[in-house]
């Protein structure tokens, strides 16, 4: 079987505690990934259409929640869930008409509401 370069292109990659998004605005001329380490960066990438397509937008938003939860847990300890609201609102506002975005955010919120400890592993598995 012949393998071509495009067989290995991924719209989203979680690597080394960061989200790497294929910048779809540059396709087909370039294959360039943006490395995002905060929920605010993910929200901006969604807003600017770096990532496109309903499923990919929902997945990117879920990874944005992971980044927000990690930062909140690290910085706020026992009050980390409360610290997420601003990031969740920013992600929701990034593409107000994207149904998959809201579905992903609601799913992550339900999981977060049941957590007390470090959220990273469980959220990544979701």
Domain boundaries, the chain: 5-125
pLDDT score for 32: 95
pLDDT digits (tens, 9 = 90+) for 1-58: 555 555 677 899 999 999 999 999 999 999 999 999 999 999 999 999 999 999 999 9
Question: What's the gap between Cα 2 and its chain centre?
Answer: 32
pTM value > 0.85: yes
CA torsion sign for 122, 123, 125, 126 is: positive
The 10s digit of each residue's pLDDT in 105-121 is 999 998 888 877 777 77
Mean pLDDT within 118-125: 74
- Residue closest to 49 by CA, chosen among 15, 20, 21: 21
The CATH superfamily of 5-125 is translation initiation factor eif-2b, domain 1 (1.20.120.420)
pLDDT recorded at residue 79:
73
Q: Chain-centre distance of CA 52, in angstroms? A: 13
Q: What pLDDT does residue 56 have?
A: 95
Statement: residue 89 has pLDDT above 70: yes
């Amino acid at each position: 079987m012949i393998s071509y370069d495009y067989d290995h292109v991924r719209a989203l990659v979680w690597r080394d505690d960061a989200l790497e998004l294929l910048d779809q605005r540059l396709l087909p001329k370039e294959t360039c990934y943006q490395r995002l380490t905060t929920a605010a960066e993910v929200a901006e990438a969604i807003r600017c259409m770096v990532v496109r397509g309903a499923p990919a937008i929902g997945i990117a938003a879920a990874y944005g929640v992971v980044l927000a939860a990690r930062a909140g847990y690290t910085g706020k300890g026992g009050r980390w869930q409360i610290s997420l609201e601003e990031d969740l609102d920013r992600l929701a506002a990034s593409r107000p008409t994207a149904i998959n975005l809201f579905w992903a955010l609601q799913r992550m919120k339900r999981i977060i509401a049941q957590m007390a400890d470090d959220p990273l592993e469980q959220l990544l598995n979701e």
